[in-house]
Amino acid sequence: MEKKTLFDKIWDAHVVRSVPHGPDVFFIDKHFIHEVTSPVAFLNLEKRGVGVLYPERTVATPDHNVPTIDQDKTIKDKLSRMQVERLRENCERHNIELHDLGSAHHGIVHVIGPELGITQPGMTIVCGDSHTSTHGAFGAIAFGIGTSEVEMVFATQCIMQVKAKKMRITVDGELGKGVSSKDIILYIIAKISAAGATGYFVEYAGSAIRALSMEARMTICNMSIEMGARGGLIAPDETTFNYLKGKRYSPKGEEWEKAVAEWRNLQTDEGAVFDKEYQFDAADIEPMITYGTNPGMGIKVKENIPSTDGMEGSNKKSYLKSLDYMGFAPGEPIKGKKVDYVFVGSCTNGRIEDIREVANFVKGKKKADNITAWIVPGSREVEKLAHEEGLVQILEEAGFKLRQPGCSACLAMNDDKIPSGMYAVSTSNRNFEGRQGPGARTLLASPLTVAAVAVTGEISDPREVF
């Protein structure tokens, strides 16, 4: 029998029609939508006089440009207000489940999907958002689509897709103390570059991946896109099933048993062939931080910023331009650099486990005077748990400011902007020029490293801060 990868198995089960040498017509199980990439798709749908074929397969939440204070009041920013209102109208008109601002399950789309048990193994999931790859942590094919494809999914529940190439990244061994899944993914991207997985769908495997919680797996799949991949996925196992059991939309009773039995088959067959494979040793991974303007420009916190030795021409020029933006020089240590802001949040690291980690670290400590510390839960559910577990109190005592759920300073589409020229160490996923505000300088790191930076006021290795 043909040996299949996990990706092949899910893909093949969703092909509605294949055209020789053409893209496949591909069925979509779940469609998440948010306020930024859905309005034009709805508008075009209406122009064509077409409805949403399966509203029950569609779930909406406003997250990108919502304010993170006073969410119960009228939104002040005009564009944000219009987009959120449009989303409400469109959901009502088309009978789509909306987790509105202030409601119990409001939050970043990639945080609430898993939390509600909407995201399940074996599914195909899309959203007009690149970090849809997050949902792959459950053993699903999940990827971002453009607005015209959003329209296509509304109308037909299908899209046209050319099957991606397959890559497997295996990380074996045990992670050291103070090293987390964010360090794994920053390490991988630094190794293979921000374009290293272009054209591929990546399966993460190996004992270090298997040992991770669902939250930690989501962090890894989330950032697959930052190395150019279409998406990333991890085969479901007991960790996955335990996470999903009892969630609002998870199958119940006998249905649950049946589902788990099926999900157990969602594994790459032994001997299945990938187009490309990488192997890494968990023991080589240490706390990581980025120093440049793409997520591939990452080093271990203890290392120096790479020198220009061996660089030439346009490579060297763009490298120096990036360092110039960051205000760093080649060859200098990154540790000890002064920081102005820390941001804990986003669909990469805004989940309860991340907030627990930061709170545990800063308990009984105070943030440094030069630091403004923002903590933005990924969802209302995360916010609620953080209160119930006493984490909010710990964080506030340490000088952190808790804001309400949303994408916030991850992309600064709302008022949560890092001022120009200032340094922010952030748990988010992108460090592009201006990502966190015009002129803002972003360094990506794990929640633990961010907590260490908050306390010391400078780039620090969490293993050295007590």
Ligand X SMILES: CC(C)[C@H](C(=O)O)[C@@H](O)C(=O)O
Binding residues for [4Fe-4S] cluster: 347, 407, 410
List 119, 130, 348, 460, residue binding ligand X (CB under 6 A): 130
Query: How many positions of this chain bind ligand SF4 (CB under 6 A)?
Result: 13
Q: Is the dihedral of CA 436, 441, 443, 449 positive or negative?
A: negative
Question: Which are the contacts of 317, defined by CB distance < 8 A and separation ≥ 6?
Answer: none
Q: Is 36 in the site for ligand X (CB under 6 A)?
A: yes
Please identify, using beta-carbon distances, which residue of 144 and 176 lies nearer to ligand X. Answer: 144
At 254, list the tokens: 């006998």
Report the site for ligand SF4 in 388-427 (rule: CB under 6 A): 407, 410-411
Report the C-alpha gap between 151 and 300 in whole angstroms.
43
Report the site for ligand X in 59-78 (rule: CB under 6 A): 64
For the range 197-200, what are the long-range contacts, defined as Cβ-Cβ under 8 Å and sequence gap of 24 or more? Answer: 197/167, 197/224, 197/227, 197/228, 197/229, 198/227, 198/228, 198/229, 199/164, 199/165, 199/228, 199/230, 200/164, 200/165, 200/166, 200/167, 200/228, 200/229, 200/230, 200/275, 200/276
Q: Is 442 in the site for ligand X (CB under 6 A)?
A: no
Q: Is 355 in the site for ligand X (CB under 6 A)?
A: no
Q: Which residues are annotated as a binding site?
A: 347, 407, 410
Residue 418 DSSP symbol: P
The secondary structure of 162-211 as a DSSP string is PPPEEEEEEEES-PPTT--HHHHHHHHHHHH-TTTTTTEEEEEESHHHHT
Question: Which are the contacts of 389, defined by CB distance < 8 A and separation ≥ 6?
Answer: 356
For residue 36, the partner it binds in ligand SF4, ligand X, none, with Cβ less than 5 to 8 A by kind, is: ligand X
Site string for ligand X, 384-423 (x = CB under 6 A): ---------------------------x------------
Owner of token pair 């009041």: 73
List 131, 168, 217, 441, residue binding ligand X (CB under 6 A): 131
Report the C-alpha gap between 341 and 422 in whole angstroms.
8
For residue 383, the partner it binds in ligand SF4, ligand X, none, with Cβ less than 5 to 8 A by kind, is: none
- Segment interacting with ligand X (CB under 6 A) among 49-57, 123-131, 302-310, 330-338: 123-131
3-class DSSP state for residue 413? coil
Report the C-alpha gap between 26 and 339 in whole angstroms.
46
- Segment interacting with ligand X (CB under 6 A) among 128-136, 162-170, 398-406, 456-464: 128-136
List 144, 199, 306, 434, residue binding ligand X (CB under 6 A): 144
List 57, 64, 106, 182, residue binding ligand SF4 (CB under 6 A): 64
Please identify, using beta-carbon distances, which residue of 159 and 410 lies nearer to ligand SF4. Answer: 410
Q: Between the CA atoms of 238, 241, 244 and 245, what dihedral angle is there, to the nearest 10 degrees?
A: -110
Min dist. Cβ of residue 58 to ligand X (A) = 17
Q: Is 230 in the site for ligand X (CB under 6 A)?
A: no
Residues that bind ligand X (CB under 6 A): 36-37, 64, 129-131, 144, 411
Residues that bind ligand SF4 (CB under 6 A): 63-64, 108, 110, 129, 131, 346-347, 407, 410-411, 428-429
